Amino acid sequence: MLIIIKDQLFNFSVFPNYEASIRFLADNLADKEEWDFSDVLVKNNSILKNYLEFTFRKLRQERKIGYTADNKFACFNTGLVTENLEDIFAFFEIYKNPRPGFTTPYCFKAFLKKSENLLLRHFSHNLPDIADFFEKPELLIFNPKSDLIPDIDHIIRDNIARFPTHLQKADDSELRRQLMGSIDEIKKKVRTNYKIAVPQYYDGKIQLLLPLYFTSGSSNPDVALVVHKLNDKTYTARTCLTLKMADNNARLIVKPQSNWLKP
């Protein structure tokens, strides 16, 4: 089960109609994309909720939350756009009637396009910028001239529950053989198509995700290998993720374009 993280954003602001606001952003305002995993029975935009929380955290680190001079209003750039590529902002007003002991300073008012009068009335000269995940663009693309050296024992020991059921029951030698074969195969593929490697943002770092295929005849990967750049000549891999986890982390940077990573 994917846990929705919303601590920092909810400590910053009250959301009187949270679910309705999220649905409006997903269905009516933002450029269309899939914000739910394919196996959910009830749509709840869980990917979008996590995206907003972690985007807010990054913006706070970068001091990109916008405030009016009197601090009565605040906003941040969500990093999302409308279908006409207009930036979308989250807009807040100071919380006027807090309950005793309630320390949340702001109340969420609306998601607004950059051209909205309400937003421009207060922030026309100081609209905040998007979060910056691209300080080192070279980290976003796999370098085919570099070695990829996985820690096979560590991957198996710490991630067995993320593997397909038939491999969870396999003995160590079979599991190791399957894992090494899948990694060797994807190492060759990514050297001919760099788009296979999808960047993700996790724990303040840029990493790359590579699909691993264990199930014979399946066009869908079973897990995503997390690849970390040590230096100009070497990548290492010490863990893997379920596809849900991978998609959630990758969406923090950009809408993934690789066809193997989808909710």
Per-domain residue ranges of the chain: 7-123, 137-250
Q: Which residue has the higher pLDDT, 77 or 10?
A: 77
For residues 84 and 69, what is the distance between their CA atoms, to the nearest angstrom? 31
Question: d(Cα 148, Cα 243) in Å, to the nearest integer?
Answer: 21
Q: Which two tokens stand for residue 88?
A: 């979308």
Q: Indicate the pTM of the whole model.
A: 0.81
Using one digit for the tens of pLDDT, what is the confidence trace for 83-105?
999 999 999 999 887 666 667 78
What is the model's pLDDT at position 31?
A: 94
Longest dimension (CA), the chain: 65
Give the whole-angstrom CA distance, residue 153 versus residue 217. 26
Count of CA atoms in the C-beta half-sphere (13 A) of 28:
9
Are 108 and 102 in contact, with CB atoms under 8 Å apart?
no
Using DSSP's 3-state secondary structure scheme, residue 228 falls into strand
For 104-114, the pLDDT digits (tens) are 789 999 999 99
Give yes or no for a contact between 200 and 208, defined as CB atoms under 8 angstroms apart: yes
User: 158 or 101: which carries more pLDDT confidence?
Assistant: 158
Residue 225: pLDDT over 70: yes
* Whole-number average pLDDT of the chain: 89
For residue 136, pLDDT over 60 is answered with yes
pLDDT tens digit string along 16-69? 999 999 999 999 999 999 898 877 778 899 999 999 999 999 999 999 999 999
Which of 84, 86, 136, 141 is closest to 258 using CA atoms? 141
Q: Over the stretch 169-211, which tens digit does the pLDDT of each residue have?
A: 888 888 999 999 999 999 999 988 888 999 998 888 899 999 9
Residue 200 pairs in a beta bridge with: 207
Nearby residues of 199 by Cβ (< 8 Å), 6 or more positions away = 139, 140, 206, 207, 208, 209, 250, 253, 254
**Whether residue 214 has pLDDT greater than 70:** yes
Give yes or no for residue 263 having a pLDDT over 60. Answer: no
| Alpha-carbon gap, residue 254 to 76, rounded angstroms | 17
